[in-house]
Structure 1
Amino acid sequence: MMARVVVQETAKLTVDGVEAFFEKTVTAFGTGAKIDCPRQYLGRNVYVVIRRPKKD
């Protein structure tokens, strides 16, 4: 069984040393979810930022 991820809520994020970034949609994967990422980033540490829905 996978460990639960602790989610930290914040309104602002500053990150140094960014090599790349991209926007993806989270999709269903079994009983969880996943984000597709280019193979070149296998084994790398990443941050996942969850955006609030856009207000119309």
Structure 2
Amino acid sequence: MSRRIEIEEEKLILTDEIETVYEAEVKSHGNSARAHVPKKFIGRRALVIVLKD
């Protein structure tokens, strides 16, 4: 697996084998936060990228 992640001047370059990309709102959950992910991805690895407002 070759993965390359670059962040330069507020631009992101991600090179990897990607299955899907989707957007979700992070919501409060007790003392933490969460973003819902479809059940079909249970057990899979994921990257979470937090965007500036």
TM over 0.5: yes
| RMSD between aligned residues | 1.1
Segments of structure 2 that go 5 or more residues without pairing to the other structure are: 1-6
TM-score normalised to structure 1 length:
0.70
Counting aligned pairs with the same residue, the percent is 23
For this pair of structures, how many residues does the alignment match? Answer: 44
Distance 2:24 2:47 in 1: 13
Name the one with the larger strand percent: 2
Alignment of 1:1-56 (within 5 A): 10=7, 11=10, 12-53=12-53
Segments of structure 1 that go 5 or more residues without pairing to the other structure are: 1-9
